[in-house]
Amino acid sequence: MLFVVYQALFFRWFQRQGLLSWDRLDDWGHAFVIPVISGYFVWRNRERILASRPAAFWPGLAPLLLGVVSYFYAVVAIRNHMVEGFAALLTLFGLALLILGPGVMRWVFLPIAYLVFGITLAEKIMIEITFQLQLLASEGAWVILGAIGMMAGFEVDLQGNTLMIYRGSETIPLNVAEACSGMRMVVAFYALSVWVALTWNREWWQRIALFLLAGPVAVFMNMIRVAALGIASLWDADLATGQAHTLIGTLLLVPSLGLYLGISWVLNRIVEPADDEAPGKGAPA
């Protein structure tokens, strides 16, 4: 009953989050997958959850009420969708703690916390981070294209966030816009890192290392993506815009994922676990 009340209370936020994710599918489409992965974490620990005895834990009222008050403050006073999302998540945590108790919360805390990756960041934060990522993508692609150009016979200059490719008398501008900042890849990789780390890596130092590497890997692969668009524009400038631009970016997600899974594999090989501690054999999440 309380969970029905919870859904009714935050229905406005869930509806808006769904619309925002759908309207910005390239940036926030992964938000639709986050609850599925969170449910997987719960299912993975189902035996431990069922073995734990649920019991009312009244201190759970504190985060529950704080979450509700924060939500209404965010709706009425500051009107910030991101803060509303954090408040909804805090309320869910308090509700689960109140009903299930610390014994069960031990196993459902991470699935609840993982839902934070499904909350759309505030526009001000997005603009600030996106601008910095644009500069990184431009500078990284400039270095990569410069190295390739020395062998392929073209030159590259960087003007702000615009790459100027010179081939003979021809000048090809490549603007690294917000869509090329790699923000979508960074957020998605951090969400992916938690799933990969908790699923395939047993040691906590491996999991932390994999999480910390998510950002650098995403930024590096975005530099590769921008450089690939620059190479493609040498044949046809239209390949760096429109649907072709989106297709090339999507195709490069495959080697990006492969690189990240390869890092996870290497981390697992650094320390060989005992047979009864191998990943997938009841390792705790």
pLDDT at 242: 62
pLDDT for residue 93: 96
Low-confidence ranges of the chain (pLDDT < 70): 26-27, 177-182, 237-246, 248-249, 271-285
What pLDDT, on the 0 to 100 scale, is given for residue 24? Answer: 76
The amino acid at residue 145 is L
For residue 161, the 8-state DSSP code is T
pTM, rounded to two decimals: 0.78
State residue 37's pLDDT score. Answer: 92
Secondary structure E strands in the chain? 155-159, 162-167, 170-175
Task: Report the distance separating Cα 85 and Cα 102, nearest Å.
Answer: 23
Q: Which helix (H) or strand (E) holds 48?
A: helix 46-51
Give me the pLDDT at residue 76, please: 92
Query: pLDDT at position 284, please?
Result: 46
pLDDT at 86: 96
Whole-number pLDDT of residue 113: 94
The conformation of residue 285, written as its DSSP 8-state character, comes to -
Q: How many CB atoms lie within 10 A of CB 82?
A: 16
Q: Which residues contact 236 (CB under 8 A, 6 or more apart)?
A: none
Q: What is the DSSP letter of 75?
A: I
